[in-house]
Chain A
Amino acid sequence: DGGITQSPKYLFRKEGQNVTLSCEQNLNHDAMYWYRQDPGQGLRLIYYSQIVNDFQKGDIAEGYSVSREKKESFPLTVTSAQKNPTAFYLCASSPGLANYGYTFGSGTRLTVV
């Protein structure tokens, strides 16, 4: 079955460490997105990519980095510069056209210890 896979499901990070969250899709979607969700809050866009080897900053890109070397993969690195990284991170993909919806992965819960 086609879908979008995020790993790990839970991640614990020590302060000062960089961590990378994985996002892989086999839906042949062009566009991929990373969102952050805090308790009781909506989804905030971190980065997005409409095509391989290209990506754009979203509303809250500071302290994060991404790469898009393959169509199927869009990993997110949470760097030590991100001051409050504890959150629920969601990856999504879409065909990239205006009238299509978005498919989400099951998310990664990151906790700084």
Chain B
Amino acid sequence: RKEVEQDPGPFNVPEGATVAFNCTYSNSASQSFFWYRQDCRKEPKLLMSVYSSGNEDGRFTAQLNRASQYISLLIRDSKLSDSATYLCVVNMETGGSYIPTFGRGTSLIVHP
């Protein structure tokens, strides 16, 4: 079983739509969680951290459900510029260190 799993998509949505992605993780001792955005042939860039209480940044909302071991990302009022791959990252404790483990990413395509 993979440690961090995401639906690869693609999610194909019209501008203005609301879209949500989930990411499940296997290690219940995982400490911290992030969403990254990766554009084609570019490096990943931090979109937002995910806190236990949930957090919002403009059109983006991230949630953490520790009991069910998943995190989610909600994008409201999708823009063409939101088209990218969204990577879920989980910090897993390994031998006293925190090692980032990445999901394969979920592809989002926003069309006019």
Contacts and interface: CB of A to CB of B under 8 A. Distances in A.
Contact of B44 (A43, A48, A98): A43
B44 to A, nearest CB: 5
B102 interface: yes
Given A33-B100, A42-B104, A42-B105, A98 B87 contact: no
B22 interface: no
B61 interface: no
Nearest to B92: A98
Interface residues of B, number: 25
B42 A106 contact: yes
Contacts of A102: 34, 46, 89, 100
Name the prevailing secondary structure of the B interface residues.
strand
Given A33-B100, A90-B43, A42 B32 contact: no
Contacts of A58: 99
B49 interface: yes
B43 A104 contact: yes
Contacts of A106: 42-43
Interface of B: 8, 31-32, 34, 36, 41-46, 49, 87, 89, 91, 93, 97-105
Given A98-B98, A102-B89, 9 more contacts: A41-B104, A43-B87, A43-B102, A50-B97, A97-B98, A98-B91, A104-B45, A106-B42, A107-B42
29 contacts: A40-B8, A41-B104, A42-B102, A42-B104, A42-B105, A43-B102, A45-B101, A48-B97, A90-B43, A97-B98, A98-B31, A98-B32, A98-B93, A99-B32, A99-B91, A100-B32, A101-B36, A101-B46, A101-B49, A101-B89, A102-B34, A102-B46, A102-B89, A103-B46, A104-B43, A104-B44, A104-B45, A106-B42, A106-B43
